[in-house]
Structure 1
Amino acid sequence: SPKKILDLACGFGRHSNRLAALGHSMTGIDLIPDFLEIARKDAIQRKVEVQYQPGDMRNINFNDEFDAVMLLFTAFGYFTDEENLQVLINIKNALKTGGLLIFDSLNRDSINTVTRPFFVVEKEGNMMIDRLSFDSLQGRFYNKRIVLREGIRKDKPFFVRLYNPNEIKNIFTQIGLELQHIYGGWDAKEFSADSPRMVVIAQKPG
C-alpha cells in the first residue's frame, strides 16, 4: 500500500522520484537548491509529483507525519555529535507510530581495508583530489578534498562521523527508537566487521 515517505538529503531525487512512480507520497529535502532543481526536472520527465523543499535536517519540524524516513548513501553524520543526535530526534518526531527509519553509512570497522587513502578523478580537464584518513578515537572519516576547475583551486574538506553498532543502539535507546536490524549492505547480508556498509533499520515504537 502507498506510504508517506520523507527522503532527507534527497540530492537529485533518484530515490524519491522512483518511489513516487510506485505510488508513494514523497517529500524530499536537501540543503542544496541546485540539486532540488535537478530533482524537480527529473520528476517532470517521469510524470511524478514529489514535494521538494530546501531545508536542513537539523531544523526540520514534522510531527507524526511519515510512515518512513530515508537517509541514504552516507547522508548522515556530517555534523557535531550533538547535531547528529538532534537530526535523529527530529526524525523520530517526524515518524508516525510504527514508522521506520532507514539509513546507511560506511562500516567504520572495515574503513581501512575498503578505501584507498588517496585518489584522483579527472573529467574534461577538471580534477578532484581526495586525501582520506580515519580517526578511530573520534570515529571521524576525514576527506581533504581539493577541486581544480578551469585552473582554479578550491579546498573543500569535510568529515563524516561513522558510528559503530553499539553506539547506534545506545543512541536509539536514548531517544526512543527501536533498532530492528543492521545489514551489511543493500543485498540484506548479515552485518559483520568486514561488511563494506551498514544499513540500519529502526522503528518508532507504539
Structure 2
Amino acid sequence: MKDEWWKDFFGGLIVDFWRAAIPDEVTRAEAGFLVRALGLAPGSRVLDVPCGAGRLAIELAARGGAVTGVDISPEFLEVARSTARERGVDVEWRQSDMRDLPWTSEFDAAFCGGSSFGFFDDPGNAAFLAAVSRTLRPGGRFFADFKAAESILPNFRERREMTLGDLRFEATNRYESAAGTMESVYVITRGDRSETKRAVTRIYTTREILRMLSEAGFADFETFGSLEGEPFRLGSPNLLVVCRNR
C-alpha cells in the first residue's frame, strides 16, 4: 500500500506553524528572486504548486502577476483566500493533488517552493514534474527548491526543536539509506493542545533530480545554493534549480 501521509498532513497547528516560520522579508526576497529567475513581467501567467497558504502567490500577484495557486489543503487555501482579500489582490485558487494539473500550455512560468518535492514514490514524483511541464508554454521557465541529498545528509540531525511565539515545534528524523527516504515525526504544541504529524519524503541526489527534470521535458538547467546566486555545494541548505520547458 502506498504511503499517502500528505493527504491529511497539512491541517491543524502545522498550518499556523508554517505561517509563523517564514518572515515577510523572506517572502519578499524569494519573490524578487522568482521575478528575476523566471523573467516575470506584469501580466505573466504564473503557477504556484503547491502554494500552501499562498504567501508567494499573493506577493507575486501584488507585483502584477496573473497567478494560480494549487494546494491539496483546504485549511491552507482558506488562509490564502483570506490573506489575498486583505491585500486586495486577485489569485486563482484550486484545491487538488499537486499532480492533478488540468492546464495545457497555459503558463509562462511555474514554481514549486518550500522544499515541496518528494512527497510521493518515484513514479508519483515524476508524474508531478511531467504535469508541471504540460502546463507550461514552450520556453516557459520553472523553478523548484529541493532538499537534495547533498543538502540534507551533511547537515543531518536526528532531532530539531524550535519555538515560534506560542508554538513549540519538535522533529524526530530517520533516514533510510536503502529506500532513499526521510521519515519525520513532528510534534507541534500550543498551550494544552498538541498534534503529531508524520511525513515521509523521497530524497534524491542532484544528479537524479536533474535527470528527472530532463525526462519530464525540461532543459537549460541553472543550479544555485542560495537566493543570492551562490553556487550549489555540498552542505548548501537547499538546491535551487531554474530551467526551461522544451
Same structural fold, with TM-score higher than 0.5 when normalized by the shorter chain: yes
Task: Give the Cα separation in 2 of the matches to 1:49 and 1:125.
Answer: 31
Residues 1:35 and 2:76 are matched in the alignment: yes
Shift of 1:11: 1.1
- Offset of 1:120 from its aligned partner? 3.3
Q: Where does residue 134 of structure 1 map in the other structure?
A: 175
Q: How does 1:156-175 map to 2 (within 5 A)?
A: 156-175=197-216
Contact 1:172/1:179 (<8 A) preserved: no
2:123 counterpart (70, 77, 82): 82
Q: After superposition, where does 1:39-188 map in structure 2 within 5 Å?
A: 39-121=80-162, 127-148=168-189, 154-188=195-229
* Per-residue deviation, 1:146: 3.3
More strand by share: 1
Q: Percent identity?
A: 28
Q: What secondary structure, in the 3-state scheme, does the structure 2 residue paired with 1:145 have?
A: strand
Shift of 1:76: 1.2
TM-score, normalised to structure 2, is 0.76
Separation of aligned partners in 1, 2:195 and 2:77 = 23
Report the secondary structure of 2:226's partner residue: coil
User: Per-residue deviation at 1:121?
Assistant: 4.0
Please state how far the C-alpha of 1:135 moved relative to its aligned partner: 2.5
After superposition, the CA RMSD in angstroms is: 2.0
Contact 2:154-2:234 within 8 A present in 1 as well: no
- Measured at CA, do residues 125 and 192 of structure 1 come closer, stay the same or move farther in structure 2, by a change above 3 Å? closer
**Gap runs ≥5 in structure 1:** none
> Is residue 2:49 matched to residue 1:11?
no
* Deviates most, 133-142 or 47-56: 133-142
Deviation at 1:151, TM superposition (A): 5.1
Aligned residues between the structures: 205
Structure 2 partner of 1:197: 238
